Amino acid sequence: MENVLEMLRKKNPGLPLYCVTDPEFRRYGRVLAGETAELAAALDTCAIPAEGNCYQASVPVLEAAGLMKDLKRVVFGDMPIEAGYCNGRGFQLNAMEYHKCSEVNFTTTGLVLLLALPEQLDDGRLDSADVVGFYLPAGVLVEIFPLVLHFAPCRITEDGFRCLVILEKGTNEALTSVNTTAEGEEKMLWMRNKWLTCHPDSPHKKNGAFAGICGENLSLKI
């Protein structure tokens, strides 16, 4: 674990990088306890695409894992949840989003989460210099707190990453309408329970998302 983090730090000197087990993570989320062997086996059945990233919000084999009942109660207060994945080979920031519920992540490959704090967002605008990277080792289960900005993980090897994503049910479903010229927070509302701001150089800007990220469109070098 330390060797991976040391390698990433050497190759990305401009990006603050920590492990989710470091004290710095406590403002963004927490490490969760639980037996994850069944979850890992289920996640490993979910393919990594040859290019880019793939997100599936609800995957029955993941939702059937025994740990789901505990996570539903302990993390989400027994609200209905969905368990899916974001697998891929991405390595750029591109955008940041938040939800008004927690998000649970878990990986069998290791990956880096790019995160920022809610108070660093100003009317949908974020300086990418405020973004921090957190190494999530394989087999570690974490909760990302509500309103913490995040997006798709970054791979740490050329083989790509597998990442479990658990959210309140219905999150990331399509809206009936999007208004990126609205006042205040509404201009970031991109999907259900998903507020998003993107970098002007990202594919999301081309798709019409609100572009509020300034600075470098960060890339994780490996």
pLDDT tens digit string along 152-181?
999 999 999 999 999 999 999 999 999 999
Q: Confidence band (pLDDT; 50, 70, 90) for 39?
A: very high
Q: What is the mean pLDDT of residues 10-38?
A: 97
* Strand 126-127 with 194-198, pairing: unpaired
Is residue 181 in a domain? yes
Q: Confidence band (pLDDT; 50, 70, 90) for 57?
A: very high
Is residue 39 in a domain? yes
Is residue 10 in a domain? yes
Q: What is the mean pLDDT of residues 96-113?
A: 98
Q: Confidence band (pLDDT; 50, 70, 90) for 1?
A: low
Distance (Å, whole) CA 96 – CA 113: 11
Is residue 86 in a domain? yes
Provide, rounded to the nearest whole percent, the portion of the chain with pLDDT above 70. 99
156 is in which domain, residue-wise? 2-214
Q: What is the CATH number of the domain that holds 143?
A: 2.60.120.10
Is residue 219 in a domain? no
* Phi (first) and psi of residue 164, to 5 degrees: -70, 140
Is residue 204 in a domain? yes
Report the number of distinct structural domains present in the chain: 1
Cβ neighbour number for residue 49 with a 10 Å cutoff: 11
Is residue 221 in a domain? no
Question: Which of helix, strand or coil describes residue 61?
Answer: helix
